[in-house]
A and B are shown apart, each in its own frame.
Chain A
Amino acid sequence: MPILMWPDRTPMPALRELQNDFAAALFTDREAWQRLCAHCAPTRREQGIAAYRRGVMANLANAVCSTYPVIESIVGKDFLYEAALGYAAKTPSQSGDLNAFGADFDRFLAIYAPTLPYLPDIARLEWLIQTVYSAEDAPPQDFSLLTATPAEAWGGLCLRLDAAHAILRSQWPVVQIWEINQVGYTGDFAVDFTRSETALVHRRFQGVVVTALGNGEEAFLQRLAAGETLAESMVAANAENAQFDLAQALQRFVANGLFRKAGATERPKTTASGATSPHAKG
């Protein structure tokens, strides 16, 4: 391959300048496109830029689609892909890891598909599922301090939660919508859209489980995750639900592995994927 001379002797711009023009040209900035073309061999350069544009957009859109299978189940593959392309055109990717792309797809859907107002919350739920799936591994459960402490003194203890969990409060029945869109679901397909649900997203064994939290349970878990004591957390739960059943809650969250360890009144750090996640908004 001979080293080609450029006919009009336009010098090659600095790498940063060339890459800026390349990036802008892919997102249909006409002037950048023309500047880029001035530094490309003329043969099939338009097709070349188009190939990169297709490749970049397809990579971004496919990354979004793979994160939102329930959205796909609801709106169909083609609708989701078109939405993902629209999102990718407007949303700069912030990471070399494509798995990190699509975090605020919920906000895009709110504008893109206003006739399906529950869709953004389903997207929030699916993003949390992806985040929880790869959150740090939990240590073995350790309730030795609990068993060594008289029951009347349990109120002063703290409980450390599995980092691989998140909570989503929604005005929609998000857990039910999620369930009926799972492969192999055979139950009732009737959805009462006036019902609100709070979802617990929790990794167990090889996958992520989504279950509904009862009244008071969310407050209970949020307080515990923030490092408050069992007594303080129970007060918060009772404020939401006077019938909150502490024994039942303890049994549920120890059995499903959400509670990992009983400790003294230290304040365990909250986790990025945990109950204080910025995505866990309702």
Chain B
Amino acid sequence: MHTLPVQAGIGLRAPHINEVRASGPRVAWFEVHSENYFGDGGPALHALAEIRQDYPVSLHGVGMSLGGADALDHEHLRKLKNLVARIEPAVVSEHLCWSAIGGRWLNDLLPLPYTHEALDIVCAHIAELQDALGRAILVENVSSYLRFLPEDMPEWAFVAAVAKRTGCGLLLDINNVYVSAENHGFAALEYLHNIPIGAVQEIHLAGYEAIDGLLVDTHSRPVYPAVWDLYERSLQRFGPLPTLIEWDQDIPPLDVLCAEAAKADAYLDVARQNAHARAT
């Protein structure tokens, strides 16, 4: 099984697929949304399989509803399993959230209450998914605009417990940590310092928007300076890690995404040098 290189990758979306196939840009790896390739065949799947020949690929799911009180949707799971078998991705990841209840799908990354019950449910679902796929997955912390009360633990303790109990890796979205910290008034650094070092295997970076007094994780902007700073601190704590630039709305030209990736690569180079200096 191949792995993601410790470099910056790009979230590959439909407007750039033909350009990537035609020009073969110098991008270290690509991540795609799993559900966009759930079809039985056709050009989209072919394009992904072709790109997979030339680049490491990560499959990032947005619809498994790991934190839902409903049972996992077995049809959804079957399609993901087929896709994983077909693409043989370096990484399979999902979100630490819920998206459906009572059979109705809300198709968004909805926040969990950080309770023991929710922890039990999400861990059982992650274990079921990992068993079905025959491999460990990564789970990503989401942005949140609501905080449930009373909670049994802070978000970071919930995230750390998920990794410890299920053996899954963590996909740490730095922008999401920042957005939630600003919305709920906690210290982003405290969050990071409570995430176990060995568990984090991938980092996400994206841009948010301020709407109605809240920061909203829109993936529609460049990465903000405060998030780059938090990224730098994260690399100091967790070491250099595969890092993804995500952009899902108002998607700019591929060059803009490549420039953001190059910026992340510069941070990764510094982190590597610092890690090397500390080791010698």
Contact = CB atoms under 8 A, between A and B. Distances in A.
Nearest to B216: A51
A47 B101 contact: no
Given A99-B35, A134-B44, A93 B154 contact: no
A75 interface: no
B89 interface: no
A133 to B, nearest CB: 5
Given A20-B101, A98-B63, A5 B150 contact: yes
Given A15-B115, A19-B69, A1 B213 contact: no
Interface stretch (B102-110, B128-136, B222-230, B268-276): B102-110
B106 A23 contact: yes
Contact of B100 (A45, A48, A96): A96
Interface in A1-56: 1, 3-6, 9-12, 14-16, 18-20, 22-23, 26, 39-41, 43-45, 47-52, 55-56
A59 B107 CA distance: 7
A94 B39 CA distance: 16
A207 B145 contact: no
Nearest to B217: A55
A151 to B, nearest CB: 33
Contacts of A55: 108, 216
A206 B102 contact: no
Interface stretch (B180-188, B196-204, B231-239): B180-188
B42 A203 contact: yes
B149 A41 contact: yes
A105 interface: no
A134 B42 contact: yes
B76 A97 contact: yes
Interface residues of B, number: 63
A163 B42 CA distance: 11
Contacts of B115: 12, 15
A45 B232 CA distance: 31
Contacts of A207: 43
Interface in A44-92: 44-45, 47-52, 55-56, 59-60, 63, 92
Interface size class of A (residues with CB under 8 A): 35 or more
Contacts of B45: 134
Contact of A164 (B41, B76, B99, B184): B41
A95 interface: yes
29 contacts: A4-B147, A5-B149, A6-B150, A12-B149, A15-B113, A15-B115, A20-B101, A39-B148, A40-B148, A40-B149, A44-B145, A44-B214, A45-B146, A47-B212, A48-B214, A51-B212, A55-B216, A56-B106, A56-B107, A60-B107, A92-B104, A95-B76, A96-B99, A99-B38, A134-B38, A135-B39, A136-B40, A137-B42, A203-B43
Given A52-B110, A96-B107, 18 more contacts: A19-B98, A20-B101, A41-B146, A41-B149, A52-B108, A55-B216, A93-B106, A94-B103, A95-B63, A96-B62, A99-B35, A99-B38, A133-B42, A133-B43, A133-B44, A134-B42, A134-B45, A135-B40
Interface of A: 1, 3-6, 9-12, 14-16, 18-20, 22-23, 26, 39-41, 43-45, 47-52, 55-56, 59-60, 63, 92-99, 101, 133-137, 163-164, 203, 206-207
